Amino acid sequence: MIGRQQGKGENASNVKMSPPVCLAIAGFDPSGGAGILADAGTFRAFGCWPAAAVTAVTVQDTVKVHGYLALESNLVSAQAGAVLKDLDVRAIKIGMIPSRETAMAIAELIREVRCASHNQLVQVVLDPVFLSSSGHALAGPSVERTIKEHLLPLVDVVTPNLYEAAALSGMERVHNEYTMVEAGRKIASFGCCVVVKGGHLEKEAKDLLVSKDALYWMGSDRHEGPSPRGTGCRHSSAIAAGLALGNGLEQAAEEAHVYLRNIIAGQKGPKGHGMPLLVDTSTYKHLDTKT
Ligand code: PXL
């Protein structure tokens, strides 16, 4: 059974004082720009404890993805299951799903988590990763179908960008506020809340939260310049961390939006030969932010 048993000598107060555990089920990017390293950094920035189950090992740098190896789905389940049995996981963030088998294994894992009495409050956030930021396919069409049919009805929140929103809603194009609302509603009809990320809109970087009966817009000016790596990973992880801390979805989504805006506008990370890397200044307090 998945679901942590109460340990000896443990009481409610010391559990409350420790950082809430967030589990990323996602791919590994050796450059640290995206994937579980970006997820872990974000969880930590929000005061959460990062745990991770690797779905795929990618070979990539800041320029491009050279390839990837999908781990066997039972190895993914075993990693996540070990953490879920042992630690009091409050939120799960799902990122790169390289195969249909892994998508099915994750669906089974979430069903088990939902059934286990100790884990009723685990929040699940899905970042539907279809393409890398450099344009490399990280999941095939069968994964897209499986996500729609088997994962959207199970997760609490899904966080598509405009391209992913078009793929999940079956719409030809999502490119403005009207089509964001239409796509968001269509995706929400699968049974989850949706944060449609408008980072690729022409003028503004507006995000839209679509829940059962409400629309909630989060707006900010678009930041000009080359798009940084790992924004999607960090955004969904920030929402997961907010939920793990016990915040409501509107607050978690709003704080994630502001977090992303700040790190995109702020100091950049180490320079490679390709896309900029994001730096989380709250975890690099010793750096002079003016240089
Ligand atoms: O940003 C999407 C993404 C997710 N997960 C991994 C990635 C990428 C983009 O490159 O490498 C592992």
Pocket flag, ligand 1, residue 133 (CB < 6 Å): yes
- Beta-sheet strands, E only, within 182-221: 193-198, 206-210, 215-218
Tell me which amino acid residue 91 is.
Answer: A
pLDDT recorded at residue 8: 45
Pocket flag, ligand 1, residue 98 (CB < 6 Å): no
Q: Which residue among 133, 143, 277 has the greatest number of ligand 1 atoms within 8 angstroms of its CB, and so is best to mutate?
A: 133
pLDDT recorded at residue 291: 44
Query: Which residue has the CA at smallest separation from atom 1 of ligand 1?
Result: 230
Element (H, E) at 260: helix 249-265
- Please choose, from the candidates 94, 117, 96, the residue with its C-alpha nearest in 3D space to the C-alpha of residue 107: 94
Torsion, Cα of 216, 253, 24, 144 (10° steps): 20
Q: How do residues 45-101 score in pLDDT, each as one tens digit?
A: 999 999 999 999 999 998 999 999 999 999 999 999 999 999 999 999 999 999 999
**10 Å Cβ neighbour count for 26?**
28
Low pLDDT (below 50) residues in the chain: 6-15, 291
pLDDT recorded at residue 248: 95
3-state secondary structure 37-73: HHHHHHHHHCCCEEEEEEEEEEEECCCCEEEEEECCH
pLDDT recorded at residue 11: 47
Fold of 19-284: UDP-N-acetylmuramoyl-L-alanine:D-glutamate ligase (3.40.1190)
Confidence (pTM) = 0.92
Give me the sheet containing 65-70, strands edge to edge. 65-70, 49-60, 21-28, 89-94, 123-126, 157-158, 193-198, 206-210, 215-218
User: DSSP 3-state assignment of 25?
Assistant: strand
Paired residues of 117 in beta bridges: none
Asked if 165 and 146 count as a contact pair (C-beta separation under 8 A), the reply is: no
For the chain, give the number of residues.
Answer: 291
Q: Which residue among 25, 28, 58 has the greatest number of ligand 1 atoms within 8 angstroms of its CB, and so is best to mutate?
A: 58
Which residues contact residue 286 at a Cβ distance below 8 angstroms, ignoring those fewer than 6 apart? none
- Share of the chain residues as helix, strand and coil, in percent rounded to the nearest 5: 40, 20, 40
Compute and round to an integer the Cα radius of gyration of the chain.
18
